[in-house]
Structure formats: C-alpha cells, structure tokens
Structure 1
C-alpha cells in the first residue's frame, strides 16, 4: 500500500524538521514537502495535491487561518492544525476548526524544544483519521444567527428567593449533545439555529482539552441566540442556556429540589479514554424521568455516548438523534448508536436543530 502524502506548513525551520521526522517514523506517511508560510503552503498544496496537511497558525505573509480559507475554498485537503496551548492559541484554533480543519494538536508550551515528541502519538493518530475523511462536504460557510445584543443573565447560584419564572428554571425539556472530531463546526451549525427564549437548557460534551472548551463556549456564545457558557460546578440549569463541559472534567446533571437542576463536575477516571465523557453525561440523566430528554450524537471518532444513549432510550427519552454519515467528518460515535438500534432519528447536521425546535416548541 502506498503511503499517504503529507505537506507540513510551519514558519520555524527547526519545527518543520521535527514534524518531518515525527511523521516519517510512520511508514503509512510520506512528507512530500514543507512550506515556511501560508502563502507557500497554498501554492504547494495546489501543486503537490497531498492527502493531508499540518498547518501552523501564526506565520508571516499569510497566517494559517487565511491559508485554510483559501485551501478549503479552492482545493480542499484534510488539515491538522498545530496550535499553541495558550488562551489566544485556543481561540484561533476554534476558528480554524470552524473553517474546516479536521482537528488540532497542541504544541508544547514554552520555547521550541524536543518536547514535541511528546505529542507524536497524538499527531500520527489524528493524521490517520484525517486521511479517511472527505472535506468536500464542509467547504460552504456555516450559517450564523444574528447576534443578540441582550441575552438573559445567569442568576447567582443559590438564590432561593428568586422566583422560578425569573430564573427560567421551570422547563420541561432538556437537550444533551455529545460530539468529538469535527464537533466545533457541527456545534456552530446546530446552536446558531436555536431561537431566542428557547424554553430548554442544552448540555454539551465536546472532547477537547482544558482551555479550548472555554474558547469554544465563548465562540458559540457569539453566534447563538442561546447563552453559551463553559459549565461550572454547582451552576443551575436555565432554559435558553447551553453549557459546555470543561476539558478535563466529567459533567453530570443532578436534581436540586423538586424541579431544579445543577451541574456537578468530577475528576473521576476517564471513561473510554475521555474526560469529559458523553456516556457519563447521558447516564446522569437517567433518573430525571420527569423531564422530556432529547439526546444527540454528532461527528466523532469512537463510540462514546452510544451506550448512554441506549440507556436513555430505554429510560424513556423522547428523542435520540444520530448525525447522518454524509455530514459527519468522522462517522464513529453516531454509527455506534445506530448499530445499537437506539436511534429514533438519523438526520444531516443542518436538520438537527430544526427537528429539536419543532419537538420542543410544536407549531400550533
């Protein structure tokens, strides 16, 4: 079998050499070129037609985001971003994932060093995933909802005197979403379609490291009529708000009184290699039978969430949705749920939000 061709784009000579050596250690890949900036990367991608690219973000002449825009528009190629682990680096990485990058690998913090070898396994794993994906489906711009200038404020925790109607806690429905590879773009598509004053909370597990989930929630908040926040321990669930599980923590939903609910974050062992885990979140909803629960599994590698979705369906969940294969970057998690025969609807990404809205707010 012929190795897959890789193009490496990074402005550091030393980093290009390190990445070249790391990738070359896997016989399944062949580095066919290296570029020192985004402009050169675009030109080489067009000429060499690699199967996959690695792309730095901060580069002279043309940065990684601008190069990604051109590549995804003119000659789509699966791209893995090499990202700084800083807060600023996380924000730029989220933008790259929305623009069509398949995934990212965080560069070690501090000065450039041989510490990059620590991410060798992760880089090669994500390259193997990337070469199996088709990016042609993801080149059109993601629709963006009009920005709402005034969103309902989250009420202070523990304010028992605040009337329930003001705290927006008198909801009957709860939406839970799990996703992984390709998730930031999928979440952008889905959350941008919810209307203002949506009468249910949305809880989200996206497989992503700490810091990046904070940037993801901020970005989603900027494009959605919902208020989107990174979840905090003890936070009350409110309608019209989406809660993103923070990287490094499992997120559970627990009853807090007759019809009130709080978020509980734990550092328990990873489940199936993931923390946060979709299965853990879904399973926490099993006792909440007084709520009309709606579970969604979207693009992602592996099977996290499938067993939890099955348990939810058996426990009376109203809706269980798997994203259709033709819109998934990686058809792993949804496929696992379909194979367990626990899915009530298989929907393309752009139809998921509409179905949820019609179910929660039926037309008269």
Structure 2
C-alpha cells in the first residue's frame, strides 16, 4: 500500500495521521505473514508510511529503484537473492537508503546479522518465526521497530544544510569544569582498565575502534554492547579476527587480563569483581537496568568499585542513556570519561546524556577515539 506525500500532515487510507516528512519504508520478507505483520506495525507509526513490500532480495532491488524508500526492512534468509547479498547491492546502488535487518534468534541468523552490520546495515531487529509470533513477541518486535525508526528519523532531522563533512576533522573538547583546554593536558591517574559502553551502531563502532588497538596493549578492555544471546558471541568472534588483540565473550570467573577485550554476553549483566586480588568476570541475570541486560551502568559501577580512578571509560553511540549513572559513579572515584561526538554517532543518546550531564572529559570523533585513548594511557 503506497501513500502519497504532501506538504502538510498526511492522512492515510487507514485513517492514521502521518507527519509531512514521514519515512517511506519498503518491507522485504519471503513470508507473506511477516510482510503483513511488519507492514501493519509500521503503518501504526506516525513517522512511517509503508511504500510497498517485496518477497525476496531481487524484487527488493527493483522496488527500491521505483519506490525510492528511506528505509528497507530486510529479511535475512530468502530465496532468489538473500538478505546479505541484497544489502550489499542496495548500499552500492542506493547508499542513502537505511537498511534494518530482520533476524531470527538462531546462530545462523546472528552470524549473518553481524556480517550485515559490518557490511553497511544501519540496524537490526530480531523476530520469531511467523508461527511462533505470540502477543509478547509481537509487542517486542513493535517496540524494537519503533525505536529504530525513531533513531533514524532523529538522525535525519539533525542533518542541516552546510553541516561539516564527516571526513573533516572535528575538534576534541573537554567538559566544563576541566581546567585544561585539551585532553592531552589533563592531569590523570594512570589507567589500569579501559571500559566501553555502546548500543545502536555499536558493531560498526567497535569494528572501527578495536582493530586500531595495537598488539601488546597493556590494559584489559571490558565492553557492554546491547545485543541478545548468540549475537554477542558472533560479534566477539568477528572482532577478534579483525583485531590485533583477542576479543572474547565473557564467561563467569574469567580472569580480566591486560591486552584482551571481553564483551558481556547477551542476556547477562557483566561485572568485574576482585577474587583474591585478581580481577575476574562475574555474570548474573539480575533484573534489567535501563530496559537492558547486559547494562552499561552495571559494568561501570563494578569497575568503579574495583579500579576506582584508575579507569578510562568510553561511551560510544547508542540509544537511551544507559551508562550515565555508571559514568557518574566512575567520575566520583576520579576516573575519566570520553564520549563519542554527535556527528559520528549513529544515535547520540548514550554519549549525549553523558555530555549533557557534564561528565565527559573529552568528546571525540570515532576515528580519533583510539589515538585519544593511546595518548591518555
């Protein structure tokens, strides 16, 4: 069902009022049930209009050229042309189109989704098979899709004519209250740990940052990336292949050692604890925080307890404000916090919250984050 845009608020045939700059969405899935379900969900969003649907990647390519959507929701496993191949061709021919992958909660789905994110997909949602779609699964898919659409709409609204070219270098600046004018002049305790919190846009951000970390890096790295089970395992494997240091999914009791990055496993909070004076990973399924498990706040608070001020915390792109209270706890112990800048963030929710609270010692473009870290330590 295609709805024509106008210069005023749009009223669609289903009676739903649309914003005048509503995002046009093409829904791609080989299941007619899932196409209808996702289309119905998106039709309920005032920022969306469903421009059409397609049954496979080949049909999607044709319809992207004709319908010119802003967003494509792209199933992964499809006949004729699969989601990963379709993604690469869409990004090659229509780089302005945002792509949200729709992944099943399987090892294969997780693996392909990570590959898709590292190949240019903007985000992903997880879905049950149509025959398993109960009310809870439907609400979860709806909430996730709505959040992704909102993030894309916010990012688009933030683009102003004449804005800086992303390739141009942006000045790093320091939070108010800091006596010096650049992070290189800060008087800091020597860090003993690097901890990172990240969400939406995180796989690509981590794939940019971690491979820049040199072999022999002398700090342990502890990471929370908001992702479900299986996805964090696949992400750790991909990042380890790309990086000069090992990247592992956290296991309860694992020692925290220099030169190794540990990613919190999906559906588990990850803390660092001191066992006989040796830092180690502790996992739990305590209640969600900030609607997340793992949560950045949980990790950051534990790091504050074990490492105190000898910590460098980095808050990268992500939706919401998970990490804000953890950053506050770290700052209270004398730690330093770097935040990714708005221009290079997919969503400036998490780092933006830290900056707004004046907890960031430096605000750094993603491409400059590793040099900033290396100068600091």
Give the alignment partner of residue 340 of structure 1, picking from 357, 367, 370. Answer: 357
**Structure 2 SS opposite 1:130:** helix
Give the TM-score normalised by structure 2.
Answer: 0.81
Instruction: Mark the runs of 5 or more structure 1 residues left unpaired by the alignment.
Output: 141-170
Instruction: Mark the runs of 5 or more structure 2 residues left unpaired by the alignment.
Output: 1-18, 168-189
**Structure 1 SS opposite 2:110:** helix
Tell me by how many angstroms 1:324 deviates: 0.7
Distance of aligned partners of 1:8 and 1:350 in 2 relative to their CA distance in 1, 3 Å threshold: same
| Distance in 2 (alpha carbons) for counterparts of 1:138 and 1:48 | 28
1:276 aligns with 2:288: no
Q: Is the 8 A contact 1:78 1:133 kept in 2?
A: no
RMSD: 2.4
| Distance in 2 (alpha carbons) for counterparts of 1:272 and 1:31 | 30
1:302 corresponds to: 320
Give the alignment partner of residue 117 of structure 1, picking from 138, 145, 152. Answer: 138
Tell me by how many angstroms 1:179 deviates: 0.5
Give the TM-score normalised by structure 1.
Answer: 0.84
1:37 aligns with 2:56: yes
| Distance in 2 (alpha carbons) for counterparts of 1:322 and 1:43 | 40
| Distance in 2 (alpha carbons) for counterparts of 1:237 and 1:291 | 17
1:262 corresponds to: 280
| Distance in 2 (alpha carbons) for counterparts of 1:289 and 1:283 | 10
Tell me by how many angstroms 1:102 deviates: 2.4
| Greater Cα shift, 178-187 or 121-130 | 121-130
2:86 corresponds to: 67
| Distance in 2 (alpha carbons) for counterparts of 1:130 and 1:292 | 36
1:77 corresponds to: 97
| Distance in 1 (alpha carbons) for counterparts of 2:371 and 2:91 | 27
Q: Is the 8 A contact 1:23 1:30 kept in 2?
A: yes
Q: Is the 8 A contact 1:100 1:138 kept in 2?
A: no
| Distance in 2 (alpha carbons) for counterparts of 1:238 and 1:294 | 16
| Greater Cα shift, 17-26 or 339-348 | 17-26
1:206 aligns with 2:228: no
Give the alignment partner of residue 131 of structure 1, picking from 143, 153, 163. Answer: 153
| Distance in 2 (alpha carbons) for counterparts of 1:295 and 1:226 | 19
